[in-house]
Structure 1
């Protein structure tokens, strides 16, 4: 008995094979030697062999774009590489890299199938090993899918929060420069009569109440600035160029200034105007801070709604709240793609008992896939529709992307099946969505033709979880 046959006899999968079958394996196989760091097969290579590690250690991983997801590590006497062949995949969906010098026996897939048909003991052991490995790989993928989704959401939220946070910081800095000016004015006010002060206060309040709700178009803004500049120059107001944009943005016009000049002594006009513009500027900064704080509060609320933080796992929930919080979480991606979101909600829907955070994962997978399908689309659009169908609630999520090719539609809900580029998807998003919906006693299905893909989720209104 040769040393190679003795080695194969120690491999668990082949332990019950007689010597003549082991000799046949050696004749069918091909020995390969790898130095540390060398690749046995790459992700995407033809799945044409299974392997026996005669000596050494090899790591199987998948490229996830910015990192490698380690799926398994195989050592001396391990049998591996059977999953793609047994699941009907044409190509390996992972790469194998030697992490120490390796001596490997490669067995062609045709010989592997022949071995399975001849030897029930090998078939039994291979299928048992395969089942456990599938569970392990699925667990790894699901954990990675959640981490990737969390990373995507975190990046989007960071971008969404950065804008209002930056606005708050900028406005706070501006206010720190404005407040000393207001303080100085308060400590050295111009000498005005009580009636003059009341008149100025009334004019200021009138201006605030009538200030434009939206910015002026650039041409109108320039024309009004020119008008005010000429008026202020006629009145010999110094540094008029600094205050004109603020006055125009607040809706100040020449008639308002004429009213003001009738109430204020000429020697105090410049001081009063600079005070008014400083007060207007501070009011504008405070308003921007309020808007930024409200936006951050809105995002925090969306996060809590999305994750059902501080709440029991099973909730009585309004399905629309989950859809809207998911849209808020994905708002960065929607804005990036200039995607229009249309809503057609039945607001009379009954609330349902559900695992709220899990259903939000379903909406995330479906909307995120729709966003991916709309890349480079000239008029991207996603539509969300809800309605009641007898004892069930229906959620429809559709997009006007290119559609799902007919030849791959039967495989859409298969675990590990993906049409995305290597490193861009694990193929578990829709599989997880399917499992979550089924856990709720519901159904998920789709229709897809050119320029229209619709995913439907049907959930029972009354169900005991």
Structure 2
């Protein structure tokens, strides 16, 4: 049978007068539960203050276990708490003994047991603070996990391209001596050599839009016919390289006129050698540039080159960095993303790292909600009354029902399957927006869901 010694073992109750602890003993009921017992399921009413005298209890289920209590510990409903029903299962891990006080007694306790009530309210305050810190940390880790998976895919493509093209370039360079021999046997004047060089590098410097598949195929056929007429060896392969850089029959006629039919094959072989080298170098440069963009995006996203305080935040930078890092997921779902953010949008005073969590959650949720084909996400920012910056995220998913709209910002609420969502995302989003003295609203109907974020330009 529970006694005063059992209650004074609770650090939170050690300063409570004995008569108030005795009141608690007189009105509470002692219960014993075996290991593995399910205290309540999600959705069950929470009607008792529970004092865990012996044993252990876990809130949540694998892989999303949230809290673990070891006796002595205080759980359940607390004075002035608005908790009415559970959102996570509560399981007894080992044989446990508890004191349970029904919520009907809490009003009486608040009027007759001041110190006891104050101690329990302090427990609620600590619980809220600890939960908020834990939820934010878990959501940061979840965001990092999503981004790291996408980043691995994003980096794999340019890295593979660099390795592949570097090997090809190495093999290609080994064939250069053979081309050099052919050139040495040609009797070209300095003037002819200069003409060929200027003509080649002028073509390489002229960046034009790529040809369509049909246009390129037609050009390759024309070039192949020209090369066959001039009895130039390896005509189809050479035509493929020439078409890549949009050489025409007129270009080949020009070279034929400059170097003569006896030298045209050797000159075009040398030209092809330069084109292949140029193509490999360009591909390596583009892949390297892609990697540099990704590194810059993750650096911007993680805020790793700046302090952790409030500062002027360019919303477009954070949103575009997030889109870049979620690029693999966006492409895998074939979601068309449009961003409409004016170049002159004012900066806001805030915490970039926190806001990047907001963008990650909203964009990630929109991608998940988008249909498998024809998914869209439109992001738009604008200024209202020269005081507020509004940012909207609109997707064409199936929508959120009215009943669910009222719950989506609650802690642990999620519509995703088990193991696919902790229900912390939108709760953390709302907390971050409130930290910036802003607001977030949702409007939804089938085929159109819009989250609207309002943040004051000045947070003074």
Q: TM-score, normalised by structure 2?
A: 0.80
Q: Distance in 2 between matches of 1:20 and 1:318?
A: 58
Residues 229-262 of structure 1 show CA distances to partners (whole Å, capped at 9, x for unaligned) of 3443444444434333222222233343333334
2:52–2:99 contact (8 Å) kept in structure 1: no
Question: What is the deviation of 1:459?
Answer: 2.7
- SS of equivalent residue, structure 2 residue 272: helix
Partner of 1:438: 434
Deviates more, 1:196-205 or 1:41-50: 41-50
Q: Is the 8 A contact 1:5 1:19 kept in 2?
A: no
Q: Which residue of 2 aligns with 1:360?
A: 356
2:187 corresponds to 1:192: yes
Is residue 370–residue 382 contact of structure 1 (8 Å, CA) maintained in 2?
no
Runs of 5+ unmatched residues, structure 2: none
Q: Select the residue among 423, 446, 455 that pairs with 1:459.
A: 455
Q: CA deviation at 1:154?
A: 1.9
- Counterpart of 1:384 in 2: which secondary structure? strand
Change (3 A) 1:92 1:10: farther
Structure 1 residues 114 and 95 mapped into 2: Cα distance closer, same or farther (>3 Å)?
closer
Change over 3 Å in CA distance of 1:144–1:273 after alignment to 2: same
The DSSP-based 3-state class of the residue aligned with 1:381 is strand
Distance 1:52 1:364 in 2: 39
CA–CA separation in structure 1 for the residues paired with 2:345 and 2:232: 63
- Worse-superposed segment, 427-436 or 291-300: 427-436
Query: What CA distance in whole angstroms lies between the structure 2 residues aligned with 1:78 and 1:212?
Result: 71
Q: Distance in 1 between matches of 2:2 and 2:335?
A: 61
Q: What's the counterpart of residue 33 of structure 1?
A: 34
Q: 1:215 to 1:72 in 2, by over 3 A?
A: farther
Measure the CA separation in 1 of the matches of 2:240 and 2:150: 34
Between stretches 208-217 and 356-365, larger displacement belongs to: 208-217
Once structures 1 and 2 are overlaid, which stretch shifts more, 383-392 or 167-176? 383-392
Distance (whole Å) between structure 2 residues aligned to residue 144 and residue 138 of structure 1: 10
Q: CA deviation at 1:125?
A: 5.9
Aligned to 1:380, the other structure's residue is in SS state strand
Measure how far apart 1:89 and its partner are. 5.2
Matches of 1:457 and 1:298 in 2, distance apart?
Answer: 27
The offset of 1:39, in angstroms, is 6.2
- Superposed, 1:312-331 pairs within 5 Å as 312=307, 313-331=309-327
Contact 1:386 1:395 in 2 (8 A): yes
Determine the C-alpha separation between the residues in 1 that align with 2:247 and 2:207: 8
- 2:420 is matched with 424
Task: State the 1:327 CA deviation.
Answer: 2.8
Confirm or deny that 1:304 pairs with 2:305.
no
**Partner Cα distance (2:402, 2:229) in 1:** 75
Structure 1 residue 307: Cα displacement: 3.3
Partner of 2:95: 102
Contact 1:210 1:251 in 2 (8 A): no
What is the CA deviation profile of residues 176-211 of structure 1, one whole-angstrom value per residue up to 9, with x for unaligned ones?
A: 112222355346633222233233324423543567
**Residue-pair matches, total:** 444
Partners of 1:7 and 1:261 in 2: CA distance: 106
- The corresponding residue for 1:178 is 172
**C-alpha distance in structure 2 between counterparts of 1:385 and 1:168, whole Å:** 37
Aligned residue number for residue 401 of structure 2: 405
Moved more, 446-455 or 291-300: 446-455
1:35-184 pair list within 5 angstroms: 38=36, 40=38, 44=42, 46=44, 55-63=54-62, 67-75=63-71, 78=73, 80-82=75-77, 87-88=82-83, 90-94=85-89, 96=91, 98=93, 101-104=94-97, 112-114=102-104, 116=106, 127-184=121-178
Alignment of 1:259 with 2:254, yes or no, is yes
Give 1:289's aligned residue: 284
* Cα 1:39–1:222 shift into 2, 3 Å: farther
CA contact (8 A) 1:60 1:72 kept: yes
Q: Distance in 2 between matches of 1:19 and 1:148?
A: 41
2:335 — aligned with what? 339
Counterpart of 1:243 (choices 225, 238, 241) is 238
| Structure 2 counterpart SS, 1:413 | coil
Secondary structure in 2 aligned to 1:411?
Answer: coil
